[in-house]
């Protein structure tokens, strides 16, 4: 087992390569009551009901699948469940699931009694390398995705790699898009590993190392800039464009798939504005394509531009992007004109 330390509003550790049963046992011994949330798929396939039944101070709450769980009506039911379970300040919540479940669970913990302890047990690659680490929690509303939330770090993140075995190739690849992002902004060794493990099943063989390397970078960046005043923005490489097409698809495409196209867009933009070498731009395409991740879009430019302007990461009306000078050297691009964005878009339009 390996640990990675994160320093945020409190210090906590990401524990890599644990068994979730042992983790739940330990958590249940350190709090008088534990409220566990998980989607049905995980409850059924990982026999959570039977396991938790043996720990008599736990309550299991099954959440809806996917993005639907990040809804105010679900939070309302969780609050009610925590109330009925008599969850007090010294008790804890555990979120077992993908990024949607850890976002939801973290937010429920942030709001109950003005903040109770919570633990993340991520079950998708996206949640392991990204969503469960960093303390951003939240839900969606009719106004937009992730607009309601709180910075509320978990007490611990516990990664059980066995969960990856049941993940679909599509979801595994979507998680890899975030790993590839980390390779370009900070850790080029990730890119070397991925080039020599050039399909999903080969990448599975090195998942522990890829997860470890990605979390080391995220933990370092978050520890320096928890509330995203500047440095943490580098983790948004590929995301301004990615969020826009994710929204235009009405969340039919995976977040990682949208980020994949966004990474190529950000690389092309960096070619124009920062002189990023053509071979590095092509490396974005070739690595992403190894995992069948999309690198172009059919969506029209005008609404994408509109959505990029309204991205919550925009400051005032200025459009900001993270670009690359070279591999490992991100650069903040401010006030990028719509003409430049349009000619960049033409490079990735189908
Ligand atoms: N807080 C953050 O910093 C942060 C960062 C990135 C993404 N996110 C959020 O994370 C979410 C995306 O994460 P995600 O892709 O994990 O989404 P998800 O939680 O919706 O999971 C995707 C699908 O995989 C299923 N699943 C989960 N674990 C499984 C397993 N082990 N085997 C088989 N199927 C499994 C889920 O039931 C779901 O259908 C979005 O809501 C996004 O906003 C948050
Ligand atoms: Zn992302």
Return the residue whose CA atom lies nearest to atom 9 of ligand 1. Answer: 99
Distance CA 56, CA 208 (A): 33
How far, in Å, from the CA of 90 to the mean position of ligand 2? 32
* Active-site residue (options: 31, 33, 70, 136): 136
Give how far Cα 50 sits from Cα of 40, 64, 151, 175, Å. 14, 20, 33, 30
Mutate which of 43, 66, 126 to test ligand 1's pocket (most atoms within 8 Å of Cβ)? 126
Query: Closest ligand 1 atom to the C-alpha of 137?
Result: 1
| 278 in active site | no
Q: How confident is the model at residue 246 (pLDDT cuts 50, 70, 90)?
A: very high
Mutate which of 62, 99, 219, 237 to test ligand 1's pocket (most atoms within 8 Å of Cβ)? 99
* pLDDT, tens digit (0-9, with 9 covering 90-100), for 280-320: 999 999 999 999 999 999 999 999 999 998 776 666 666 88
Confirm if 125 and 172 have CB atoms less than 8 A apart: yes
| 136 in active site | yes
Q: Where are the domains of the chain?
A: 2-165, 168-348
* pLDDT, tens digit (0-9, with 9 covering 90-100), for 127-157: 999 999 999 999 998 877 888 999 999 999 9
- Fold of the domain built from segment(s) 2-165: Rossmann fold (3.40.50)
Residue 188: per-residue pLDDT: 98
CATH architecture assigned to 168-348:
Up-down Bundle (1.20)
């Amino acid at each position: 087992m390996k640990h990675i330390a994160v320093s945020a509003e409190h210090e906590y550790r990401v524990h890599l390569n644990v068994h979730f049963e042992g983790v739940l046992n330990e958590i249940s011994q350190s709090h008088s009551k534990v409220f566990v949330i998980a989607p049905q798929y995980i409850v059924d396939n990982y026999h959570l009901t039977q396991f938790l039944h043996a720990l008599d101070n736990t309550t299991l709450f099954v959440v809806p699948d996917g993005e639907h769980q990040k809804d105010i009506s679900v939070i309302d039911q969780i609050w009610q469940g925590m109330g009925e379970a008599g969850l007090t300040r010294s008790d804890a919540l555990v979120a077992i699931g993908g990024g949607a479940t850890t976002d939801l669970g973290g937010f429920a913990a942030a709001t109950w009694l003005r903040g109770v302890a919570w633990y993340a047990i991520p079950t998708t690659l996206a949640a392991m390398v990204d969503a469960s680490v960093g303390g951003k929690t939240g839900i969606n509303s009719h106004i937009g995705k992730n607009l309601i939330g709180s910075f509320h770090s978990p007490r611990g993140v516990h990664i059980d790699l066995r969960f990856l075995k049941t993940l679909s190739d599509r979801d595994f690849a979507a998680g890899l898009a975030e790993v590839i992002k980390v390779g370009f902004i900070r850790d080029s060794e990730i890119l070397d590993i991925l080039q020599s493990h050039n399909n999903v099943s080969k990448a599975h063989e090195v998942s522990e190392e890829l997860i470890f390397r990605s979390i080391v970078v995220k933990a370092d960046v978050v520890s320096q800039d928890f509330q995203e005043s500047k440095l943490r923005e580098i983790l948004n490489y590929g995301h301004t464009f990615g969020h826009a097409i994710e929204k235009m698809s009405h969340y039919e495409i995976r977040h990682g798939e949208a980020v994949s196209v966004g990474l190529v867009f950000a690389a092309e933009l960096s070619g124009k504005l920062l002189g990023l070498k053509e071979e590095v731009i092509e490396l974005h395409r070739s690595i992403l394509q190894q995992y069948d991740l999309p690198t172009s879009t059919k969506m029209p430019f005008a609404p994408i531009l509109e959505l990029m302007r309204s991205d919550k990461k925009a400051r005032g009306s200025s459009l900001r992007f993270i670009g690359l000078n070279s591999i490992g050297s991100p650069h903040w691009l401010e006030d990028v004109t719509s003409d430049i964005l349009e000619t960049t878009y033409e490079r990735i339009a189908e």
